[in-house]
Every structure is written in C-alpha cells, then in structure tokens.
Amino acid sequence: MASNAKRRRAGSAGPIGGAALAAGLVAGLVFCVSTGWNGASFSVGLPRQSTGHSRCAQLVARRADKLGVDPDEPKNAEDIEVWDQCSQELALDVRELLISDGNLFFVGPDVESYEDDIRAVAEKLNYTAEGWPYDNFLKACECTTKIERVYWVPPLYSIQRWTWKVMYHGLIIFIDEEGWEYRDYIERHNVRNRKFPKKKSIFGPETSSNFVALESNIDAPPGDPIDMWFEADVHVNLKAHPEMSVQDCIMASIIDAIMKSPPKWREWFKAAKVRGTIPSDYQTPLQVRREFNSFGISPRLNKLLNA
C-alpha cells in the first residue's frame, strides 16, 4: 500500500514535471534554430565582432611582421623605380651608362620647342649642345668624329633617310608629347594598304613591271614620320609621366631603355667571369676610364650592374 501511495504521489506530480521538461526542450530547440548551434560549433549563427585577440588576427599580425610589409615605411634606395629618382641621380646614371661618350640625337615632331630642356640635360651630363648645322650627308659625317655632343634634329631633316645613317652612330631619342603607340611591321603594312589601296586587274597586270622602280621605290608613297621616329633607341613618352619635368623624363627614359636592352659586351664579360676565362675584377678600358672620371652612381644602378 505504501508503494502504491508513493506511485500515486509521483504520478500526481508527473504531468507538471513533464510540462516543464517539454517547455525546456522547446526553448532549447528554438535557441538552436535561432543561433545555429549544432552541439559542437556555430555553423550559421549571428555575426560576431572580433575583439582583436582572436587566433586569425594574431596569425595575420605575425605574417605582416614576418614579411615586413609597412606602407608607411620608406623604400630602400636600391629598390625604387627609375621614375622616382632625383635629378642628380638620373644625371649620374645616364653619364655612367653612356660609357663610350657617344653623341645624343633628339628627334620628334616638335623637338625644337624643347631646346631649353635639351640644353639643360646636356649641361647636367657635361655634354656640348648644338643644333643641327648640316644640310647634306657629307657634311653630317663630320659629327661622327666628335664625342660628347647633343644634337636636336629638326623634323625636316629627321624624316629623311640620310640623317639616320649618321644618327645610328649615337643614341637616338624620340621626344613624344602626344603618347603615340608603337606599331609593328604588320600593323604598318595594313595601315599603308588602307591609305593607298592598289587596284588589282582581273586578268593580270596591264603593263609590264618596271623592276628598276620596284628596287628604288620611286612610285612608293611617303611613309608616316611617326613610324620612322619610333625606330629611335629611346622613346620619351611625356604623356605617360606628366608629374615629371621634361629633363627628368628624358634622363629616366634613357636609363630605362638602356637597362631593358643592355649592350652585349656586359653579358659576355659577365659570362666569361663566371667561366673563369678572365679574372673576376677585370675591367674594359672604357670601364677603367669611366671609373677614373666618374662622380659616382646611384645605389639602384649599382645594384643592377653588379647583379
């Protein structure tokens, strides 16, 4: 009887306890659905704001410290771009790369308007600036016997072929203020065919071919002067660097062009030193003379030449 009474008392309290348990289960289910808790982690929960001490934040901080990435930290003098160098370093580097003291020839559609800037560049390089005083090929050959000269060739002469035969003995610099794009032979040929289309006969040529005219290009129309000026060694694009002065842009373009296409003798001597054919400290007569008369070079060029 006592055991039955205990059961009745427990049974009387059972519905209340069962309701509480059911309410607790429903509340827990609602919590899991709303927060995304699946028993181990939050898979789809509410966004949580980081306190700055999480594991991911510490990992990113360690990577940044390891790589040394700091946008506010100044760059090393050896790793800066040529367009970021000062005028003094640009002048020293151009003088160092012009190791044979070759002449400079400036060409372009409006090259005469940059006479003051060209004279300033010649003064920084310790060169002699002169206009183009020659009107024929025989007189122009005299400039090949001179060194350390700067010439600006008017467009009337720079579009003629005989001047290029003389200018090839120095460094030709094209001053471009419009930002023209270089066109290769195929593009030039297509443009030329669109400008001067050739009429083709269905049944072959109406007259016999004049082979003398084909060889001398007597009937060929004149080409585009821009394409001829693009054959220069250095392309000074003033529109690409409007924040630079004309003098600095000219010197930076000369350095960039020479370092992108360095003279072959530097590669040959470097390979010979690696093989052991010549001593590691061997210098050419031009290098010895330049080292004797040099005022120094920038850390950037020193790193590139000794790489």
Q: What DSSP character marks residue 73?
A: S
* Residue 254 token pair: 């000369």
φ, ψ at 44 (rounded to 5°)? -130, 80
Residue ranges of domains in the chain, CATH in brackets: 82-196+222-262 (3.40.50.300)
Q: Please measure the distance between the N-terminal and C-terminal CA atoms of the chain and give it in whole angstroms.
A: 104
Amino acid identity, position 110: D
Answer whether 306's CB lies under 8 Å from 287's CB: no
Alpha helices, DSSP H, located in 54-130: 55-67, 87-97, 115-125
Per-residue tens of pLDDT for the chain, all 307 residues? 444 544 444 444 455 555 655 666 656 655 554 555 554 444 444 444 444 433 333 333 333 333 344 555 556 777 889 999 999 999 999 999 998 889 999 999 999 999 999 999 999 999 999 999 999 999 999 999 999 999 999 999 999 989 999 999 999 999 999 989 888 888 888 888 888 887 777 777 777 766 655 555 556 667 789 999 999 999 999 999 999 999 999 999 999 999 998 888 888 888 998 999 999 888 888 888 888 777 888 889 988 888 7
Q: What is the pTM of this model?
A: 0.68
Answer whether 83's CB lies under 8 Å from 244's CB: yes
